[in-house]
């Protein structure tokens, strides 16, 4: 029974993947959707960020991919400095698990 149900599941999945989406969709063909950021009320860095998103999704994505680790590193470093200043030392601690 397990082998039979597995074969049925396989063929249903294969049919769903290979069946053209035009056969599944009903109604008229939809117009293309344009996604933009509303930058009318923004100034400075936020406006530049929104304009970059509107002009090139590729450059926006690449800049985001670069900035997220850099900002994470900076925030982590600042957190380490602040914790050392208030007396929390995570480098020389006794492990309570052992």
Q: What is the pTM of this model?
A: 0.53
Over the chain, what is the mean pLDDT?
Answer: 85
User: Rounded to an integer, what distance in angstroms lies between the CA atom of residue 7 and that of residue 83?
Assistant: 58
List the structure tokens of 69: 């680790």
pLDDT band at residue 23 under the 50/70/90 scheme? low
Give the chain's radius of gyration (CA, Å): 26
Q: What angle do CA 33, 63, 55 make, to 5 degrees?
A: 40
Ranges of each domain in the chain: 57-90
Q: What percent of the chain has pLDDT over 90?
A: 48
Mean pLDDT within 52-69:
94
Mean pLDDT of 21-30: 66
């Amino acid at each position: 029974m397990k082998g039979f149900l597995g074969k049925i599941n396989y063929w249903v999945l294969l049919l769903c993947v290979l069946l053209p989406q035009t056969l599944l969709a009903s109604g008229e063909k939809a117009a293309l959707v344009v996604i933009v950021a509303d930058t009318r009320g923004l100034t400075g860095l936020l406006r530049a960020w929104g304009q970059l998103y509107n002009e090139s999704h590729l450059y926006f994505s690449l800049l985001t991919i670069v900035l997220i680790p850099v900002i994470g590193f900076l925030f982590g470093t600042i957190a380490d400095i602040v914790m050392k200043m208030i007396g929390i030392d995570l480098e020389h601690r006794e492990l309570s698990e052992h």
